[in-house]
């Protein structure tokens, strides 16, 4: 039987530690603060930002939700970032992506003060991370390391294969695994003989954005599978391909008309030694690490 790595429980433990840290800071008159910028009316973004703001409230972190309209310009967004950079009660600035097409996302992310870049997307933080200097690391990859460490899965000397090379997940995940002394291979859409490489992985990180892409024959028996993918499926035939015979999923699909599947085919989990489920694996860690980064930024800005 493969072991399920319970991301929700790990995220809850991290949030509890963050809340304790917030209490300690409060005794010194410091309250960490997060500005969450939600542009327009993208339903998924609204859900994500709502849970981020709720988590701040749960942990005693100050939050300011700012909601520019979908018609906002790059110049208006740059002016907003400048204001947030200057506000002392704001330690972290989160701009929920994706932004409308007319907004220059890179220019905006580059304008955030690196000291307040709690998403860890600023090139200065990416560079610091690569150079092994103190940095605010991107939340999802940082969460992956927490899952592995807190589940007692060895990283040092292991072959970690990361499928996906985005700036948000794949690249920083590879860098963090390297800093933990894994031997790291990064794969992407131009990789030849992908299955041959993934089959060598002791730790396989799938950050691709394609439902059930990693199939059982791509997995070394006993490997640890970290499934970052979040794909919503609504098609009955696709549902059957992944969850035929799964009564629990069947019930929720019938009720909602959709379900979530990761980048790993559920049958591949049966080959694994341990794996993160979707939902309830990597996902919950992203918010927990955002909270941890906000508190870290509050301390770092004050030289604590």
CA distance 270 to 151: 18
- Which listed residue (51, 166, 185, 252) binds ligand NAP by CB under 6 A? 166
Whichever of 21 and 227 has its CB closer to ligand NAP, that residue is 227
Q: For residue 96, indicate whether it is catalytic.
A: yes
| One residue of 41, 189, 200, 234 binding ligand NAP per CB under 6 A | 189
Q: What are phi and psi of 128, to 5 degrees?
A: -60, -40
Residue of 15, 52, 116, 171 marked catalytic? 52
Site string for ligand NAP, 243-282 (x = CB under 6 A): ---------------------------------------x
d(CA 298, CA 30): 8
C-beta closer to ligand NAP: residue 188 or 236: 188
Residues from 124 through 153 that contact ligand NAP (CB under 6 A): 140
255 in active site: no
Residues 221-240 that bind ligand NAP (CB under 6 A): 228-231
Catalytically active residues, by annotation: 52, 96, 119
Q: Which chain residues interact with ligand NAP by CB under 6 A?
A: 140, 163-166, 168-170, 187-191, 194, 207-210, 228-231, 282-283, 286
């Amino acid at each position: 039987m493969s072991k399920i790595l319970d991301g929700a429980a790990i995220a809850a433990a991290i949030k509890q530690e963050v809340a304790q840290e917030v209490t300690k800071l409060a005794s010194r008159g410091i309250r960490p603060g997060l500005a969450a910028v939600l542009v327009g009316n993208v339903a998924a973004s609204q859900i994500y930002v709502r849970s981020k703001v709720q988590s701040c409230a749960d942990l005693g972190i100050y939050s300011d939700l700012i909601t520019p309209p979908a018609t906002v310009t790059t110049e208006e967004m740059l002016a907003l970032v400048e204001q947030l950079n200057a506000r002392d009660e704001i330690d972290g600035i989160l701009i929920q992506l994706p932004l409308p097409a007319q907004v220059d996302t890179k220019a905006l992310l580059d304008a955030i003060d690196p000291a307040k870049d709690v998403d860890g997307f600023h090139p200065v933080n990416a560079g610091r991370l690569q150079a092994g200097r103190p940095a605010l690391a991107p939340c999802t990859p940082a969460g992956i390391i927490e899952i592995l460490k807190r589940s007692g899965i060895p990283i040092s000397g292991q072959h970690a294969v990361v499928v996906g090379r985005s700036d948000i997940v794949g690249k920083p995940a590879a860098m963090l695994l390297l800093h933990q002394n894994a031997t790291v291979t990064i794969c992407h859409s131009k990789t030849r003989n992908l299955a041959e490489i993934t089959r060598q992985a002791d730790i396989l990180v799938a950050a691709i954005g394609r439902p059930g892409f990693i199939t059982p024959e791509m997995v070394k028996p006993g490997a640890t599978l970290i499934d970052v993918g979040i794909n919503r499926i609504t098609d009955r035939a696709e549902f059957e391909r992944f969850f035929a015979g799964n009564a629990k999923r069947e019930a929720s699909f019938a009720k909602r008309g959709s379900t979530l599947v990761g980048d790993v085919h559920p049958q591949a989990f049966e080959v694994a030694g341990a794996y993160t489920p979707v939902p309830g694996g990597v996902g919950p860690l992203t918010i927990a690490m955002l909270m941890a980064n906000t508190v870290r930024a509050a301390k770092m800005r004050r030289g604590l």
